[in-house]
Every structure is written in structure tokens, then in C-alpha cells.
Amino acid sequence: MDRRIPYINRMQRVEEVMAELTLARCQNTIIGVPGKMKGISGGEMKRLSFASEVLTNPPLMFCDEPTSGLDSFMAQNVVTVLKSLASKGKTVIVTIHQPSSEVYAMFDKICLMAEGKLAFLGTPAQANEFFKVLGAPCPANHNPADYFIQLLAVVPTREEACRNMITMVCESYKSSSHGAKMLHQAEKNTEIQSTGLPSPWFSKRRVSPYKASWWAQFKALIWRSWLSVIKEPNLVKIKMLQTFMVAMLIGILYFGQVIDQDGVMNINGALFVCLSNMTFQNMFAVVHVFCGELPVFLREHLNGMYRTDVYFLTKTMAEVPIFIAVPMIFTTVIYYMVGLNAPFSRFLCALIVMILVSNVAASFGYFISCISSNMSVALSVGPPIVIPFLLFGGFFLNAGSVPAYLTWLSDLSWFKYGNEALLINQWEGVENITCSRANTTCPADGHIILETFNFDENHWYIDLMALTMLMVGFRFLAFLGLLSRAYLKH
């Protein structure tokens, strides 16, 4: 609604629209997802989509197949709602296929199209009279809509005859008195529009296309985004349980490591497994977010409901608690089970690193989601893009062995910074590592271990800054991707 409308009047308008479209009964019911989550009925969902559009009281509504997917009873209810809106002064244009006779009788005017050409435009009664004059009257007790569709259809085995019939009908309407009158009126309207008075100087000032202020958009969208997160509590519980179970599995596998020659290898492997798990778990948790909601976002954005930056900001902010809770549960379970560096301050440092890595992975998932056309594409391109970053994490390829022409890719790898930060947190200050076997190379202390990976123990804060910059950078790229999708639709 317009930003100058007071809050009380907004809520009053919402109540009016809900009463007008008979939605008051389900006002506190979750919308749901067909086939996934039980919610309101199909007819109520259609009426809800109308309600979101008529809140601003538009003079013109264009409805593209509003009865598709509904049974005859629900379809009639939806058209009855549209009829009531039209009776209150709104112009309602509807595209529809195979309406029932009851639905057809509600239309004030019908427009028949065939092969991209106008076959008829007028009232249902005028349509019956027109086809009667052509020698093709609608049979008694027959649905006129079905008859007209059959008459103007192109049958696969009779293409030429059907196209000749379509041409004859279109030319007959064009040369009829009614058709000539409609054509003259259309040309007159075009002339009025093209020769209109020039706009006054003050109408050329830039006016915001959005009906609400930035802050009002933010409050509404952050509330809606948060509801979308908590409306499926079982899904959140499953996600937390999954995190706990995976952490327990890794903890059991690497349980009770001691600081000796074998323990060094196992601890380093456990830390990299933790990084990989947090990356893939959090990236795939969000890779569907924006590409799944893209049609709704584009429709509402182009209707002037909210800005792209507000939508992106609120959508990502609402999920931040999840990406803090998941690494907290994971790190808390696994840290002391594996036997990592015991001081509580070291645990907190590891927790900070895991939270940052989780949010970088989520940011990268947002980026993939925003540049993908659909969920299948996002799920297909995500893993191949992540693999190079994983290889430059320092576990599979030593940091000092990266080719010079690929250092830029290594610098973008959050695995590298996360692995270095976790290893520094684990091995800094560790001395006198026990050698479990004789005549083998054994690191004497933690400093030697870090040197083996070509990691610098003074880079811990640099790694945190790099992870923070990657998190912000990937989210900014994701925003640019979403912004470009919205811009291309203008």
C-alpha cells in the first residue's frame, strides 16, 4: 500500500479484503505447500493470490488461467469472486480454457482467439448470434465454450480444412458490422493515446515505484522470512538431529586421539572432515532458496511491493540463527570426543572458525541459487564448483605447491583459511609430540606440523578476516545475481 496510509487503515483494508474474498475463516491457517505441507485449500489459495493483488485496489486485473488445476466447483467459486470484483468497478481480464457452462455464463464479454487472430469479441449473446449467421449455430443444451473451441481447433488429420474454417470465421467477423465497430473503437483509442497531451514538468520527477518505505518493507519481509523458517518446526528439528548424528559418527570414528605420531594424522583428518561437512551441509541447505522463490519474488517486486535489496537482506538474515546453531551443535559434540586442544578458550576459537566457515558456505550457496534458473541446475553446478576450492584447502595439496597461475583460486578457498585457522588453534604451543614408531619421520612439535602444511601460526586473525571477507563477498555476488534477474524482467 501507499507509504502515506496509516497502519490502522492498512489493517482495516486487510480485513475488508479478507471479508470480500471470504478468507476470514482461514486467516490464522498456514498456507502450506501442495503435496508437502497441509494448509489451505486450492480455492482459498487462489483467492489469497487475488487478495494480495486487490489490497491496493487496482482498477485493472489480468488473470492468466485462474481456474487451472481446480475442479468445476472450485473454478466456479473463483470466477464468482472475480465477477464480484468486476461488479464493483474493476476491469477483470481472464484467460481461460474449457470453462463450464456456469462459468461461461458469468462473463460479460468474451474474446475468441484462433491461430493468433481475433475470431470474435463481444457478449456471449452476440457470439451465439454471430455464429448462427455464419451457418454454424451452437446446438441446444451444449456448452457454448466447448462448441467454440471445437469449431476453432486445428485437428491433426484435418489441418487445411480447419485453417480454412478459422480464416473464414476471422474474416467474417472483421467484415461484420459488429467487428468493424470494435475495430474503429480500437483505432480511436490508439489515436487518443498517441496524441495525448505532453506530461507536465513536475510529472517527470523521479517517483519511487515502491508503495512502502524501506523500513516498512524490511519489517514486513523479515517477519515473513522468519515465519518461513519456523513454520516447519519438524524440518528444523530434523536438521539439528542430523547435525548431532553426523557429529556423533565422526566423534566415534576419531574418538580419544592422543598427541602422538598417529594422532597427528588423525586429528588433521578430523578437522578437515569437519570443514567439508559444514560446507556441504550448509551450502545444500540454501541452494534452493532463491531459485525456488524466484517467480514469487519477481511478481511481487515488479508490482512495487518491495526492493530487491530488502528481500535479499531479510531472507539471509532470517536464516542466520540456523547457521549459528548448526556449527555450535556440531563443534560442541565433536570437539572433546576427538580429543582436540583442551583449553576452553581453544574450543571457543574453533567454534568461531566453524561458524564463519558455515556462513561462507551458506553465502556461496546463495550465490549458486541466485544465478541458477531452477533447483535442478543449482544442485548440478554446486558440487563441481566447490571441488576446486576443496582441493586448495591444504589437505590434499600442500599450500606451498599451488601453481602460480592458480594462486588466485587458492586465495578464494575458504577451506584453506578454515583449515589453517583450525590447525593453528590445535597445534600452536604444542610441544614434545610422542613418536610411536622408530625410524620414521615424526614431527617434534606443533610448529613443525604447521610448517609441513606451509601454514603460518601468525595468520590466525588473517584467516578470520579472510573468511569474513569471503562471506560478505559471496553474498554481494549473490545479491548482484538476484538484482540482474530482476533487472532483466523490467
Angstrom CA distances, 216 to 9, 14, 219, 227, 319, stand at 15, 16, 5, 17, 20
Q: Are 478 and 370 in contact (CB under 8 A)?
A: yes
Q: Are 221 and 302 in contact (CB under 8 A)?
A: no
- All residues at 6 or more sequence positions from 169 whose CB lies less than 8 Å from its CB, including other chains: 114, 119, 120, 134, 151, 152
* Total length of the chain: 490
The C-alpha cell that represents 411 in the structure block: 586465495
Q: Can you give the C-alpha Rg of the chain in angstroms?
A: 32
Q: What pLDDT is recorded for position 203?
A: 47
Q: With helix as H, strand as E and coil as C, how does the chain read?
A: CCCCCCHHHHHHHHHHHHHHCCCHHHCCCCCCECCCECCCCHHHHHHHHHHHHHCCCCCEEEEECCCCCCCHHHHHHHHHHHHHHHCCCCEEEEECCCCCHHHHHCCCCEEEEECCEEEEEECHHHHHHHHHHCCCCCCCCCCHHHHHHHHHCCCHHHHHHHHHHHHHHHHHHHHCHHHHHHHHHHHHHHHHHHCCCCCCHHHHCCCCCCCCCHHHHHHHHHHHHHHHHHCCHHHHHHHHHHHHHHHHHHHHHCCCCCCEHHHHHHHHHHHHHHHHHHHHHHHHHHCCHHHHHHHHHHHHHHCCCCCHHHHHHHHHHHCHHHHHHHHHHHHHHHHHHHCCCCCHHHHHHHHHHHHHHHHHHHHHHHHHHHHCCCHHHHHHHHHHHHHHHHHCCCCCCCHHHCCHHHHHHHHCCHHHHHHHHHHHHHHCCCCCCECCCCCCCCCCCHHHHHHHCCCCCCCHHHHHHHHHHHHHHHHHHHHHHHHHHHHHHC
Bridge partners, 64 (sequence order): 95
The C-alpha cell that represents 373 in the structure block: 534458473
Q: Are 447 and 457 in contact (CB under 8 A)?
A: yes
The C-alpha cell that represents 371 in the structure block: 544465478
Q: Are 63 and 94 in contact (CB under 8 A)?
A: yes
What's the pTM value of the predicted model, to 2 decimals?
0.75
Q: Are 217 and 307 in contact (CB under 8 A)?
A: yes
Q: Are 362 and 418 in contact (CB under 8 A)?
A: no
Q: What pLDDT is recorded for position 449?
A: 85
Q: Are 62 and 299 in contact (CB under 8 A)?
A: no
Q: What pLDDT is recorded for position 207?
A: 54
Q: What pLDDT is recorded for position 201?
A: 43
pLDDT tens, per residue, the chain with 490 residues: 666 777 788 888 888 888 877 788 888 787 776 666 777 887 788 788 878 877 777 888 888 888 887 778 878 888 888 888 888 888 999 998 878 888 888 999 999 988 888 889 989 999 998 888 888 888 888 899 899 988 888 888 888 898 999 999 989 988 888 878 887 777 777 765 555 545 554 444 555 677 778 888 899 899 989 988 887 778 888 989 999 999 999 999 999 888 887 888 899 999 999 999 999 999 998 988 888 888 888 888 887 888 999 999 999 999 999 999 999 999 999 999 999 988 999 999 999 999 999 999 999 999 999 998 888 888 888 889 999 999 988 888 888 888 888 888 889 999 999 999 999 999 888 887 777 666 566 777 878 888 888 888 889 999 999 999 999 999 999 999 999 988 887 6
> How far apart are alpha carbons 310 and 221 in whole angstroms?
8
- All residues at 6 or more sequence positions from 490 whose CB lies less than 8 Å from its CB, including other chains: 302
Q: What pLDDT is recorded for position 202?
A: 44
205: left (phi over 0), alpha (psi -120 to 50) or beta: beta
**Residue entry with cell 511491493:** 305
Q: What pLDDT is recorded for position 437?
A: 66
Domains (ranges, CATH) in the chain? 1-107 (3.40.50.300), 109-184 (no CATH), 214-489 (no CATH)
Q: What pLDDT is recorded for position 438?
A: 60
Instruction: Give exposure, 157-181, as e/b (b: 16+ Cβ within 10 Å).
Output: eeeeebeebbeebbebbeebeebee
Residue 13 has φ and ψ, to the nearest 5°, of -65, -40
> How far apart are alpha carbons 289 and 162 in whole angstroms?
47
- Roughly how many angstroms between the first and final C-alpha of the chain, as a whole number? 21
